[in-house]
Amino acid sequence: MELRQLRYFLAVADERHFGRAAERLRIAQSGLSQQIKRLERNLGAQLFLRDRRQVELTEAGEYLVEEARALVARATRIAEAVPMIEQGTRGVLTVATSSAGLHPLAGALIEEFRGRFTDIELLAVPGSGPQNLEALQRRTVDLAFVSFPLESMDGLSVLPIGTVELTVTLSERHRLAGRERIARAELHAEPFLTWPRAFDPPLMDHIHRSFFGDGEHPSLIELPDLNPAERLTRVARSERLVGIGLPGEAELRIPGLLHRKIEEPSPRVEYGLAWMDANGSPFATGFVDLARDAVRGSPRS
């Protein structure tokens, strides 16, 4: 059994199609098929059920997926670590963060880890909730900051870290600008700027229920670009538009933009740090320990 064969196997398992997997690997489909057959002969088990339209994993194939991901991820880390050791760096830790900026403690933990473990290169990779969970499952990241609720996944461990309160953003010329807290009923009367549901369906459903209750908002405007400055500037320039406000965005100081709280119970999002139980990174434990210290509120030297 070769690492190359395991990488080929994982590509087919992910794509559920030999042609697409071959394109992804940039090899001929015939060569890919031969390598998979050779792997099956070496293991003495059929890994895929094949027909003209699709490819499905057998029970043996399902078992091999998780084991192969861990082996390939471990081999990749070794290949990365060896030349880094020569240069005085022990290795790499890859952490997925939220591209929506929902996890305010993430940046502080990343900077603390970098300051404490100077011989480990930490790479922060922003993404959506589903993207980060998929990256964990594929072992392309070691840890991921996630928001609740999130989809369950076998072998996933999660450490709850904190909760953020969401606010609304609006122009200083908006009719609701003088309110200290805004009633939910008022939000239904205004066009509301939000992220696409596809960004993170469980999270977005939770946020919308927190803002609007069980009823649907009659005028949601989905903005695919998650750039905070662009999103907030669009709200500041409108006399009617209302949008979601995240912690720390007031520091951007967008001209003409106000942040207002919602009536109790205020909208909140809980977040945490997630990792796979079979994670092979020897550096992930140090990061998780820092996160646990932050949760306990203990002093960190």
- CATH code at position 157: 3.40.190.10
pLDDT, residue 210, reads: 92
CATH code: domain of residue 250? 3.40.190.290
How many other CB atoms are there within 10 angstroms of residue 129's CB atom? 28
Examine the domain organization and report whether 44 and 186 are in the same domain: no
Torsion region of 296: left, alpha or beta (phi above 0 gives left; psi -120 to 50 gives alpha): alpha
Angle at 196 between CA 190 and CA 200, to 5 degrees: 125
Tens-digit pLDDT profile for residues 23-77: 888 898 888 989 999 999 989 999 998 876 778 899 898 888 878 887 877 777 6
**Residue 256 tokens, joined:** 């003409």
DSSP string, 167-222: EEEEETTSTTTT-SEE-HHHHTTS-EEE--GGG-HHHHHHHHHHHHTTSPPS-EEE
25/56 same-domain check: yes
- The domain tally of the chain equals 3
Q: Judge if 260 and 285 occupy the same domain.
A: no
Please give the share of the chain, as a percent, with pLDDT higher than 70. Answer: 93
pTM above 0.85, yes or no: no
- Residue 216 binned pLDDT confidence (cut-offs 50, 70, 90): confident
CATH number reported for the structural domain that contains residue 28 in this entry: 1.10.10.10
145 lies in the same domain as 103:
yes
Q: Considering the chain, what is the average pLDDT of its residues?
A: 86
pLDDT at 301: 35
Residue 301 domain-assigned (yes or no): no
Residue 101 sits in the same domain as residue 140 = yes
* Phi and psi, residue 157, nearest 5°: -110, 140
pLDDT (tens digit per residue) in 143-192 = 999 998 888 788 899 999 999 999 999 999 999 999 999 999 999 999 99
